[in-house]
């Protein structure tokens, strides 16, 4: 049995706990130092640890994780950063003329894998103390496609273009304007075509430091595509983008396979990874502890396996329950039908931008999804409902109690996650319902002792969602809650919102660009149209099917339903089904028929 011990050094506070893990470890009592301390951080000796789990239970800060894995898996270890750190098993195999999608939770090894395949990180096969030479690495992968891959990499004959995950860091590393950057990397002489595909011509003379997240994302994708390379790697290319931009980026990336390039993408938007990929590799394991790369599967089969949580070819169950969609999310609020909020036509004018919301109303017990391009007024509408913005005629919605999660989260609270949530949830914090329906789905219990200033983007997003849902309110407003979250976290977030709406018979508005998450959460839709940055129009709430049909028609894309998981799937452009659905005007799914 291989034992993987991981210790989160940020959480380990031996002076505060009195070194409980050391005191209660049975091996230490037998005079074998299975747990020692260096620089006031616990070190677990995996070869001596018996895996009894006592130290895990005794640690008050949940800093320790110990997992037992089969011995035969150890020969497949690809990388480990150091003692008591994350361990990665296996690697996906790039293939010319194929787009390979990587699907898995945050912290499971996808970014590490892309860094290894790009050459930014030299894999050590688990031997972090004396890393192997290139000859040893090539010998390890003998007989496989990766042998040739790493042979070329070691000889300097492999060209790789890598679009990193965090595009907001690009202005800190690269100066100048957009045009200068793209002209410098235009090795394939496709600058005009790529700029047109990604709609970035208007950004040409802008400095990188003034670009928004969505603009930076498209420029980063363009820069990666313009380089001449054998392998193209894209880490979360849909972040910060609206639905239309995601599809434009997906089409552009997919065009690389026409030149027989090998393409690998890591992505959390199920619709986009489905549309983009030819094959799927599933990453499973324990986030932050270990990750295992599955064998390659067809795109439909691979995504369905991920949602079902069971790998039949490896006989491994990595999730207790399957994720199943509904053809139409049920409205289960006990008081559905009672009007909670009604508004007449509203107008809000900014310099260079005019927003108009047509009359509409919402009822108790329903979740309203909001879809539309960036810069069309979605956040403005939500801020008006929250009472943060006034309409041109001075109207405010003050009669309702509102809980609001903004699009951009800033940390103004100086305490821990637990202190924040106790202050907003009050007596509900200790209730079993709160812990089961709100805490557990988003795994907030693992963050309770952390200061908010220490949290990553994804962790901060989850805390902001839970804080919003913890307040007692008539109206819940959540602006882009899926940002930085992985697939499971997005769907668990959707479940948590629906559960609050159902239990308290309240109403929620959710601004969301992930069509699959929106389908999972919304009872009805508001579709925003107009010209981004100039004119924005909020149409009244309509049924999920009518709203999706109107929105997808404007996007020029059709969806179908998977017969097993019921998840929405994007039809390939100009496919037989795509043409048929456009012809009959059914953009939002026909039930897929299995052959």
Question: Do both 388 and 514 map to the same domain?
Answer: yes
Residue 483 belongs to a domain: yes
Residue 199 belongs to a domain: yes
Question: Do both 508 and 371 map to the same domain?
Answer: yes
Considering the entire predicted model, what is its pTM?
Answer: 0.89
Question: Do both 277 and 171 map to the same domain?
Answer: yes
pLDDT at residue 44, as a whole number:
94
pLDDT at residue 291, as a whole number:
96
Q: Which domain holds residue 514?
A: 339-542
Question: Do both 537 and 521 map to the same domain?
Answer: yes
CA distance 92 to 320: 25
4 contact partners, CB below 8 Å, separation of at least 6: 46, 66, 67, 68, 69, 87, 289, 290
Question: Do both 144 and 166 map to the same domain?
Answer: yes
Nearest to 99 by CA among 213, 260, 208: 260
| CATH, residue 27 | 3.30.70.20
In 268-413 the beta strands, taken as DSSP E runs, fall at: 279-286, 290-293, 297-298, 310-311, 316-317, 339-343, 346-350, 353-357, 360-363, 367-371, 402-405
Please answer whether residues 372 and 527 qualify as being in contact, where contact means their C-beta atoms are separated by less than 8 angstroms: yes
Nearest to 438 by CA among 457, 452, 424: 424
Which two tokens mark 489?
A: 């976290």
Residue 241 belongs to a domain: yes
User: Nearest 5 degrees, angle CA 156-CA 159-CA 165?
Assistant: 120
State the pairing for strand pair 279-286/290-293. Answer: antiparallel
Question: Do both 160 and 270 map to the same domain?
Answer: yes
pLDDT at residue 328, as a whole number:
55
- What is the Rg, in whole angstroms, of the alpha carbon atoms belonging to the chain? 25
Give the pLDDT of the chain (595 residues) as one tens digit per residue.
789 999 988 889 898 899 999 989 998 888 888 999 988 899 999 989 999 999 999 998 889 999 999 888 999 999 999 999 999 999 999 999 999 999 999 999 999 999 999 999 999 999 999 999 999 999 999 999 999 999 999 999 999 999 998 888 888 888 889 999 999 999 999 999 999 999 999 999 999 988 888 899 999 999 999 999 999 999 999 988 988 899 999 999 999 999 999 999 999 999 999 999 999 999 999 999 999 999 999 999 999 999 999 999 999 999 988 887 776 544 444 445 689 999 999 999 998 899 999 999 999 999 999 999 988 999 999 999 998 888 998 877 767 899 999 988 877 777 889 999 999 998 889 899 998 998 888 889 888 888 888 888 889 999 999 999 999 999 999 999 998 899 999 989 999 999 999 999 999 999 999 988 898 899 999 999 999 889 999 999 999 889 999 999 988 889 988 888 888 888 888 899 999 999 998 998 765 444 4
**Which of 69, 89, 124 corresponds to the end of one domain?**
69
Question: Do both 383 and 262 map to the same domain?
Answer: no
**Which of 69, 92, 126 corresponds to the end of one domain?**
69
Which two tokens mark 419?
A: 């202190």
Q: What's the total number of domains in the chain? A: 4
Residue 416 belongs to a domain: yes
Question: Do both 283 and 208 map to the same domain?
Answer: yes
Residue 301 belongs to a domain: yes
Residue 18 belongs to a domain: yes
Question: Do both 89 and 232 map to the same domain?
Answer: yes
pLDDT at residue 327, as a whole number:
66
Question: Do both 63 and 110 map to the same domain?
Answer: no
Question: Do both 380 and 466 map to the same domain?
Answer: yes
Residue 324 belongs to a domain: no
Question: Do both 390 and 527 map to the same domain?
Answer: yes
Residue 195 belongs to a domain: yes
| CATH, residue 113 | 3.40.50.300
């Amino acid at each position: 049995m291989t034992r993987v011990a991981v210790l989160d050094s940020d959480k380990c506070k031996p002076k505060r706990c009195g070194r409980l893990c050391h005191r209660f470890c049975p091996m230490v009592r037998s005079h074998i130092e299975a747990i020692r301390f260096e620089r006031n951080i616990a070190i677990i000796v995996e070869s001596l640890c018996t895996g009894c789990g006592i130290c895990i239970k005794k640690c008050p800060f949940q800093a320790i994780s110990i997992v037992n894995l089969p011995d035969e898996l150890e020969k497949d270890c690809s990388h480990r950063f150091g003692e008591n750190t994350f361990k990665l098993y296996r690697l996906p195999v790039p293939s010319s003329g194929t787009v390979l999608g990587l699907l898995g939770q945050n912290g499971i090894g996808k970014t590490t894998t892309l860094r290894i395949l790009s050459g930014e990180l030299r894999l050590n096969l688990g031997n972090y103390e004396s890393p192997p030479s290139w000859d040893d690495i090539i010998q390890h992968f003998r007989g496989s496609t990766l042998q040739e891959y790493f042979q070329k990499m070691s000889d300097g004959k492999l060209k790789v273009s890598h679009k990193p995950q965090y595009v907001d860091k690009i202005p800190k590393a690269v100066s100048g304007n957009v045009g200068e950057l793209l002209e410098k990397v235009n090795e394939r002489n496709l600058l005009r075509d790529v700029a047109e595909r990604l709609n970035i011509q208007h950004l040409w003379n802008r400095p990188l430091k003034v670009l928004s997240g969505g603009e930076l994302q498209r420029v980063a994708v363009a820069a990666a595509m313009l380089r001449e390379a054998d392998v193209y790697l894209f880490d979360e290319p849909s972040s910060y983008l609206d639905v239309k931009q995601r599809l434009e980026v997906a089409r552009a990336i997919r065009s690389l396979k026409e030149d027989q390039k090998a393409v690998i993408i890591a992505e959390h938007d199920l619709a986009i990874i489905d549309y983009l990929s030819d094959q799927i590799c599933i990453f499973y394991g324990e986030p932050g502890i270990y990750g295992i790369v599955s064998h390659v599967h067809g795109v439909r089969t691979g995504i369905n396996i991920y949602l079902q949580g069971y790998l039949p070819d490896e006989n491994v169950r990595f999730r207790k329950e399957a994720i199943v969609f509904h053809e139409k999310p049920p409205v289960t609020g006990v008081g559905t039908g009672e009007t909670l909020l009604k508004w007449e036509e509203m107008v809000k004018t900014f310099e260079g931008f005019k927003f108009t919301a047509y009359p509409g109303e919402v009822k108790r017990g329903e979740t309203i999804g909001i879809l539309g391009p960036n810069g069309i007024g979605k956040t403005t509408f939500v801020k008006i409902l929250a009472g943060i913005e006034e309409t041109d005629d001075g109207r405010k919605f003050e009669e309702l109690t509102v809980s609001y999660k903004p699009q951009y989260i800033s940390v103004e609270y100086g305490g821990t996650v637990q202190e924040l949530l106790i202050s907003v949830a009050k007596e509900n914090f200790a209730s079993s319902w709160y812990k089961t329906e709100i805490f557990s789905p988003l795994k907030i219990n693992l963050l309770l002792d952390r200061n908010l200033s220490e949290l990553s983007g994804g962790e901060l997003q989850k805390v902001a969602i839970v804080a919003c849902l913890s307040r007692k309110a008539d109206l819940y407003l959540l602006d882009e809650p899926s940002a930085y979250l992985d697939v499971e976290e997005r769907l668990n977030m959707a479940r948590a919102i629906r559960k609050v709406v159902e239990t308290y018979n309240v109403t929620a508005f959710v601004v969301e660009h992930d069509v699959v998450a929106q389908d999972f959460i919304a009872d009805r839709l508001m579709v925003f149209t107009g010209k981004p940055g100039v004119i924005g129009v909020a149409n009244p709430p309509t049924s999920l099917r009518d709203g999706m049909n109107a929105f997808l028609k404007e996007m020029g894309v059709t969806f179908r339903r998977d017969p097993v998981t019921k998840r929405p799937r994007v039809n390939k452009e100009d496919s037989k089904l795509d043409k048929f659905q456009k012809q009959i005007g059914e953009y939002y799914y026909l039930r897929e028929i299995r052959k």
